[in-house]
Amino acid sequence: MSLEPEYLEYPLRRQGMDHDYYGYASLFDRPPIAWPSGKSVAVAIVVNLEWFPILPADKPFRAPGHMVTPYPDYRHYTSREYGTRVGFYRMLDAFAKSGAKVSVAANSAIGERYPQIIADIVDAGHEIIAHSTDMNGAIATGLAEDEEHALITASLDALETASGARPRGWMSIARSQSFNTARLLAEAGVSYMCDWVNDELPYRFTTAAGDLINIPVNHELSDRQIITVQQNSADSWVQQMQDAHAFLTAEAKIFGGRMLPINVTPYIMGLPYRMGAFERLLGWLAAQPDTAFHTTGEIADALAPA
């Protein structure tokens, strides 16, 4: 038994990364970044607002949170809808109470199906970023380039129609991309994406169609990861966000602006028994002297031009 000789050949074993999307840069070796508020810690809340068709397409994969049982899966279809009808409105009220401006990563199907929600988001001054078409709109290698292009364009067009402004930002379903995604986003005029989780500040990402910015919306801090995957309680999640905030606040005193990304999901965090913990965190963050809520658009703008 032996492996093909190529398995012990390393054509990209060179200084730097094994691709050309971005160069290596330590977080601790960059010019300090300043947020528009002048505060040292930017809390970037990203809410995923999603519509799951009761018929999952599984092309190229089934999104997290999608249908589970044999058809018709009333259980998951309606539980996800609960987040949109009820949980999300609890969140909007909580954001208003704490003065938080947030980014809503919305499936464009939300705009087509429930234009009132988009109007309520816009009226409250939140940002809308494109989160594909619906939860069948997943991207991965295997999706044909023209289909991926059509999906990105359809999402941006529909959200522009619903909200009156073309989204500047993009978040893929499950942060999953093909090798073409960043280039197609740049071609479509998207200025930043939220998929790569390798950093804690915005950085420039290179494609054949020009640069765009990547804002790392850390999946490790999300309600999906900590509450749904790791099965920690909402109170523990709040404690973890507070521990992260304390650490970043101390680090910001030495290295300049820091970002705490908080990615939440209405059908997870918007439940009655969790909502109080989330409100407690928002109130606590609003009271921290070195802290401001910023949208991902504001975060992207804070990165100095190349």
Nearer to another protein among residue 46 and residue 162 (C-beta) = 46
Nearer to another protein among residue 163 and residue 172 (C-beta) = 172
Please give the residues from 175 up to 214 whose contact with another protein meets the rule CB under 8 A: 175-179, 195-200
Q: Give the DSSP H/E element, type plus range, for residue 49.
A: strand 41-49
Q: Contact between 144 and another protein (CB under 8 A)?
A: no
Binding mask 41-70 for another protein (x = CB under 8 A): -------------------xx---------
Task: Verify cis geometry, omega within 30 degrees of 0, for the bond prior to 11.
Answer: no
The length of the chain in residues reads: 306
Q: Contact between 236 and another protein (CB under 8 A)?
A: yes
Q: Contact between 140 and another protein (CB under 8 A)?
A: yes
Residue 247 backbone dihedrals phi, psi, to 5 degrees: -65, -45
> CA–CA separation, 74 vs 41, rounded Å?
42
Nearer to another protein among residue 175 and residue 204 (C-beta) = 175
> CA–CA separation, 116 vs 286, rounded Å?
28
Q: Contact between 260 and another protein (CB under 8 A)?
A: yes
Q: How far is the CB of 231 from another protein (least distance, A)?
A: 5
> CA–CA separation, 229 vs 235, rounded Å?
15
Residue 224 backbone dihedrals phi, psi, to 5 degrees: -60, -45
> CA–CA separation, 197 vs 261, rounded Å?
11
Residues that bind another protein (CB under 8 A): 1-4, 6-8, 10, 12-19, 24-28, 60-61, 140-142, 172, 174-179, 195-200, 216, 218-221, 226, 229-232, 236, 239-241, 243-248, 260
